[in-house]
């Protein structure tokens, strides 16, 4: 299954919203950074109410960055996943819960085996409601005290989102063996189990 082009992707969202009798105005977006964007699509794709996920870049000043630009660490951008969802079926708070248990919020160097500012974890809020929800979830996680260390995930205002190249979209589907090998080699699941084994959301 190939990820549709941006135009087809937009049309798909509109048609899907009509088919599901969902108001287009009610469809919302969320943007999360959790290291390698290949690994951040699957946990959200499986949620009822999520319409699409798109790997991309945001947070920097460079216009139309390429993967090479971002991976160099000099563009200022980070790898993110943009989620289009129906808030009548899945809440932003639920998305936040899934986000947290799929990252290492204690890592101030990047995520898992990937080091560099382009892999830092972050929540990019698109409005004040999302900002309040993100801050509340951050404080709740902090107060529980189950994580042994300082939570370094940042909460930032959303900036222009740039979709990543076509070959990055749905990578875990289109290149499943390569994806699984990368994920295993990176130690992502073992670290997630260490952090979240008692309260895994996805």
pLDDT number for residue 146:
86
- Provide the pLDDT confidence category of residue 54 given band limits of 50, 70 and 90: very high
CATH number at residue 164: 3.30.1060.10
Asked if residue 13 belongs to a domain, the reply is no
pLDDT tens profile 124-154: 999 999 999 999 999 999 999 889 999 999 9
Domain span holding position 179:
28-196
The gap from C-alpha 71 to its chain's centroid, in whole angstroms, comes to: 17
Q: Global pTM?
A: 0.86
* Torsion, CA 194, CA 198, CA 201, CA 202, rounded to 10: 50
Is 130 within the bounds of a domain? yes
3-state DSSP assignment of residue 120: coil
Any domain includes 7: no
Instruction: Flag whether 180 is in a domain.
Output: yes
Is residue 86 a part of any domain in this protein? yes
The reply to whether 151 falls in a domain is: yes
Task: Say yes or no to pLDDT of 44 above 50.
Answer: yes
Residue 148 lies in a domain: yes
**Is 22 among the domain residues?**
no
Of 36, 39, 113, 186, which residue is the catalytic one?
A: 36
Asked if residues 82 and 31 have their Cβ atoms less than 8 Å apart, the reply is yes
For residue 186, indicate whether it is catalytic.
Answer: no
Tens of pLDDT along 60-119? 999 999 999 999 999 999 999 999 999 999 999 999 999 999 999 999 999 999 999 999
CB within 8 A of 12, min separation 6: which ones?
A: 4, 52
CA distance 52 to 77: 22
Contact (Cβ atoms closer than 8 angstroms) between residue 121 and residue 110: no
- pLDDT of 22 over the 70 cut: no
pLDDT at 11 (0 to 100): 57
Residues whose CB falls within 8 Å of the CB of residue 201, separated by 6 or more in sequence, listed in order: 43, 97, 98, 100, 101, 102
Report residue 197's pLDDT band, with 50, 70 and 90 as the boundaries. Answer: confident
Give the chain's radius of gyration (CA, Å): 16
What domain count does the chain have?
1
């Amino acid at each position: 299954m190939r990820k549709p082009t941006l135009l087809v992707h937009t049309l798909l969202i509109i048609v899907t919203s009509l088919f599901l009798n969902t108001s287009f105005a009610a469809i919302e977006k969320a943007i999360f950074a959790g290291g390698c964007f290949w690994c951040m699509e699957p946990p959200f794709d499986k949620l009822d109410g999520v319409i699409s996920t798109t790997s991309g870049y945001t947070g920097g000043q460079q216009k139309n960055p390429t993967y090479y630009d971002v991976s160099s660490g000099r563009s200022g951008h980070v790898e993110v996943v943009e989620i289009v969802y129906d808030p009548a079926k899945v809440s932003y708070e639920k998305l936040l819960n899934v986000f947290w248990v799929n990252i290492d919020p204690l890592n101030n160097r990047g995520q898992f085996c990937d080091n560099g500012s382009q892999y830092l974890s972050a929540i990019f809020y698109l409005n004040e409601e999302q900002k309040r929800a993100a801050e509340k979830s951050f404080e709740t996680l902090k107060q529980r005290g189950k994580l042994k260390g300082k939570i370094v995930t940042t909460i930032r205002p959303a900036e222009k989102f740039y979709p990543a190249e076509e070959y990055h979209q749905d990578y875990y589907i289109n290149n499943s063996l390569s994806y699984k090998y990368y994920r295993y080699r990176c130690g992502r699941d073992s670290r997630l189990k260490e952090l979240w084994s008692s309260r895994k959301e996805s």
